[in-house]
Structure 1
Amino acid sequence: MKIVIIGGGIAGSSLYIQLKKKHHEVFVIDPRIRKIFMTLIHSLLLKDSDVIIAKKSLDFYIENKIPLKEFKSITIGKIDAKLIDLWSQVGVKIEKDKIDWLNTEGIVAEHGDRLVYVKRMIDSIPIVKEKAFISQKGNNVEVLVNNKKIDADIFILASGPWNNLLFNVISKSYYCWASLVITRNKILDNIFIYDYEKEFYSRPFLGIGLKTAIVGDGKTIEAKPGTKINVNPLEVITKAQERLGNLRHIYTSGEFCEGTPDMRPAYGRLLDNLFYIGGFNGYGAEIGPGIASLLVDMIENGYENKEYLLDRFRGIKNFELGREAHEL
């Protein structure tokens, strides 16, 4: 089949790789107006079925030689024992311990958290560097690039926060952001911290032992992609300092994410020749390739995983964005 993917981020790149291996003729259209971060978090320490999807994503990265760098992590807060068992089942080594340098108890995990070099994957995918325009024609869509109609057997909408601007899908865009800080303890550049008591996360900046870290988990700010957003970095840094000690702000950066009514990912068929993948809600590096594999299975075999199917939002006209689903 000839398949055109509209959007070349984590979803589009993952789909391209998987569909090419199935011997389809695949093209990706992306204007490259979105900032692409060098690394993003890949964590297996998610919730419920998302843990299994994250494991699928990890297997995808390993199989396709996408660079990964593994770190230990500390999770602080009350975590359900069944969830800890699920983490263990996907290969995470768990130990409950007192962390003296944080003056708290926590769950120390090995093999659960990594930085994945997503930019290398995204940059490796050939693209048509243009904007695509979608219009509905009966129960199909017509896609134009430079006023020229694009022919394909199927199209896949995979444009993240731009999805609901390109077509009528039940999602919203919002601003995701985090801050780079100077720390007193270089261990913070070699460990992940998920603090569900103070409500922040900390991740390595480069992972080479500098006295730096990236901290995040500010409020969700609903806005259209490209909107100029001003945030107060102290919203997060002040909370993080209660646990980590003094932090000095260097800069704050972010991009736009796509949220669904339940803040979980979705995929499915919109029209006869149009499919959708999105709603990654800020954790696309964890679940993107895994959800892409579900969509490939649907296209090739008709299989539907109803837990992630877009149809679950049928009848919803409007909604408020909630907490990102990876926040326990």
Structure 2
Amino acid sequence: MKILIIGRGIVGSSLYYMLKDLGHSVIVVESGFRKFYPTLIHSLLLKGKDIELAIESKKFYEKYKIPSIKYPSYTIGKIDKKIIDDWMSYGFNVEEKYINWLNSYAIVGKNTDSLVAIKKLIDKVPYIDGVAKIKNSVVEVDGKTVNADIIILTAGAWNSYITDFKLPLKSYYCWAWVTSNTNSLLDKVFIYDYELGYYSRPLFGLGMKLNIVGDGDTIVSDPFTKRFGDLSPVKKATERVGELRPLFRGEGYCEGTPDMKPVYGRITDKVYIAGGLNGYGAEVGPGIAKLLVDFITKGTEEKEYIIDRFSNVSDFELGKEPHEL
């Protein structure tokens, strides 16, 4: 089959590799609107079936030799015992203990969290540079019709703006800050602080006095309007780890569904979609891509993520991201 993928993000790139391996002719179109950062967090410490998507994503990165580096993680806050039991049932190395330099008890994860060189995955995918539009199942790229047996929409926050289909998706602005600090350890650990409401991750992972902090409020917005994220994540992190100096704001646009879980499935006979990754595409993106490939080639479906679950939804408000514990 000739398959056209619109969007060269994590899901689109993963689909390219999977479908090419199955012998299909695959074309990827990318507008260039999105920013692709060098590394993103991959964590196994999610909940419910999202854990299985994260495991599948990890297998994908290993299969295609996408570099990743593991760092210890510290999860602070009251976490449901069932979630911790689930982690242990999968064999994850987690232990709760008091961490002096955080002045708090934390669940310490070893070999559960890593930085994935996601841009290396994306950069390997050949693509057509252009802006795609879908109308009545017909795709135009920069005004020229492109024919394909199957069209897959994976444009993230731009999904709802390049098609005339009504989709159960909303885009929102998301941002994080690169900060300087006095503790080089922050460049070699992950912190998920559910008491104060922020996360911290390594910038380079070399033990430099630099780190990234994020988790500001969800700001519903189209992806074409310039927004400016405030310093609230930095202020929250400062309460826990000491003074942080903001240096640079990294920003982008994420996409959510009514239940804030990913979505995939069929829109029309030839148009499919995978999206709603809520800023945690590195964790679950390849897993969702595999579900869509299985759906297209085998007819199997995972009801927790299939788009049909929103058939009666006309409007909705965005909630918390699904990996918030």
Judged with a 3 Å threshold, the aligned counterparts in structure 2 of structure 1 residues 91 and 64 are, in CA distance, closer, same or farther, namely: farther
User: For residue 237 of structure 1, what is the aligned residue in structure 2?
Assistant: 234
Q: Distance in 1 between matches of 2:10 and 2:290?
A: 12
* Matching residue of 2:190: 192
Of 163-172 and 210-219, deviating more is 163-172
Equivalent of 1:173, from 171, 180, 192?
171
CA apart distance, 1:124: 0.4
The match for 2:53 is 53
Q: CA deviation at 1:81?
A: 2.2
User: How does 1:234-313 map onto structure 2 within 5 Å?
Assistant: 235-313=232-310
Please list, as runs of the form range in 1=range in 2, the aligned pairs for 1:19-98 lying within 5 A after superposition.
Answer: 19-98=19-98
C-alpha distance in 1, partners of 2:92/2:225?
39
Partner of 2:200: 202
Q: Tell me the amino acid that sits aligned with residue 298 of structure 2.
A: N
Select which of 151, 157, 162 maps to 1:155.
151
TM-score calculated relative to the size of structure 1: 0.97
Which string of whole-angstrom CA distances, capped at 9 and with x for unpartnered residues, describes residues 251-303 of structure 1? Answer: 21210011111111000000000001000011001000000000000000000
Give the superposition deviation at 1:178.
0.4
Are the equivalent residues in 1 in contact too, given 2:7–2:30 (CA < 8 A)?
yes
Once the two structures are overlaid, the 10-residue window that deviates more, 179-188 or 87-96, is: 87-96
AA aligned to 2:182 is R
Deviations 1:99-127 (A, max 9, x none): 01111111111011010111111010000
- 1:82 Cα deviation (Å)? 2.1
Deviations 1:51-77 (A, max 9, x none): 111000001001110110110000111
Counterpart CA distance in 1 for 2:121 and 2:91 is 24
Q: Report 1:119-130 matches (<5 A).
A: 119-130=119-130
Query: Normalising by structure 2, what TM-score?
Result: 0.97
Name the SS of the counterpart of 2:78 in structure 1. Answer: coil
Number of residues paired by the alignment? Answer: 323
Percentage identity across aligned positions? Answer: 50
Distance, in Å, in 1 between the alignment partners of 2:8 and 2:228 is 27
Secondary structure class of the residue paired with 1:268: strand
Unaligned 5+ segments in structure 2 are none
* Range 289-298 or range 159-168, more displaced: 159-168
Unmatched 5+ stretches in structure 1:
none
Q: What is the letter of the counterpart of residue 310 of structure 2? A: F
| C-alpha displacement of 1:96 | 1.2
Equivalent residue in structure 1 for 2:141, among 145, 165, 180: 145
SS at match of 2:129: coil
Contact 2:262–2:275 (CA under 8 A) maintained in structure 1: yes
Partner SS, residue 271 of structure 1:
coil
Q: How well do the aligned residues superpose, as a CA RMSD in angstroms?
A: 1.0
- Which residue pairs with 1:182 in the alignment? 180
Shift of 1:79: 1.3
Match for 1:155: what amino acid? Answer: I
Do the aligned residues in 1 keep the contact of 2:174 with 2:229 (CA within 8 Å)? no
Distance change in 2, residues 1:146/1:216 (3 Å): closer
Separation in structure 1 between the aligned mates of residue 243 and residue 259 of structure 2, nearest angstrom: 36
Alpha-carbon offset, residue 244 of structure 1: 0.6
